[in-house]
Amino acid sequence: NAGVTQTPKFQVLKTGQSMTLQCAQDMNHEYMSWYRQDPGMGLRLIHYSVGAGITDQGEVPNGYNVSRSTTEDFPLRLLSAAPSQTSVYFCASSYNVVRGHEQFFGPGTRLTVL
Amino acid sequence: QQQVKQSPQSLIVQKGGISIINCAYENTAFDYFPWYQQFPGKGPALLIAIRPDVSEKKEGRFTISFNKSAKQFSLHIMDSQPGDSATYFCAAIVNSGYSTLTFGKGTMLLVSP
């Protein structure tokens, strides 16, 4: 199993550009989530999904969209990038939401917005 | 509102020493407390977790101590090694129904040789 994969690993955007961060898992996990990690701020939840077709907002959802059309994929879309979105983004998955503490994280995408 | 407070922000320990990281929570509905370990350039990975019905859980050199009345829990790393140098996150979750992990802000541990 590849586990949780994320692409790209690095990305530089200009203010106002849009892009999609890809996340895929091959463990047949129901629950998937996106976090951003900023120095001194820990991991903050952006959006999460409890299954295909079901998504919900986390702590910091503004400026981001998600969709979950399949169990395997959970892309994160930045609609109009802003310098405040410069961060490291992690996708995570777990078997189901009740066992949401056992999250498997991807390797991350480092995003810089100029 | 920060629901899980973690301290210290950074910690330097000599090889062979004991590393101690503390967390406090506010939400009494939390009933599962995992710790995650993150090496530079990698995603976090589950290290050890505890339920509030026990006061201590030990896995190898890693021990969680839990004080339900004080709403505090801590990670102890015995015989700390340079390979333990990483960022550690405590977290909490209501372990039923639809709930999400709440993370502390992290502790950067450096174990000096």
Residue B76 pLDDT > 80: yes
User: First-to-last CA distance in chain A?
Assistant: 36
Quick one: pLDDT at residue B31? 87
Report yes or no: B38 and B86 within 8 Å, Cβ to Cβ. Answer: yes
Residues of chain B contacting residue A33, judged by C-beta atoms under 8 Å apart = 100
Report yes or no: B101 and A45 within 8 Å, Cβ to Cβ. Answer: yes
B25 touches chain A (CB under 8 A): no
Beta bridge partners of B64: B57, B75
Report how far residue B8's alpha carbon sits from residue B74's, in angstroms, rounded to the nearest whole number. Answer: 11
Given a cut of 50, the residues of chain A with pLDDT beneath it are none
Nearest CA in chain A to B91: A101
Helix (H) or strand (E) holding B38: strand B33-38
Quick one: pLDDT at residue B2? 61
CB contact under 8 A, A101 and B103: no
Report yes or no: B94 and B103 within 8 Å, Cβ to Cβ. Answer: no
Residues of chain A contacting residue B91, judged by C-beta atoms under 8 Å apart = 101
B46 touches chain A (CB under 8 A): yes
Residue A13 Cα, gap to closest chain B Cα (Å): 20
Report how far residue A106's alpha carbon sits from residue A89's, in angstroms, rounded to the nearest whole number. Answer: 9
Beta bridge partners of A88: A37, A110
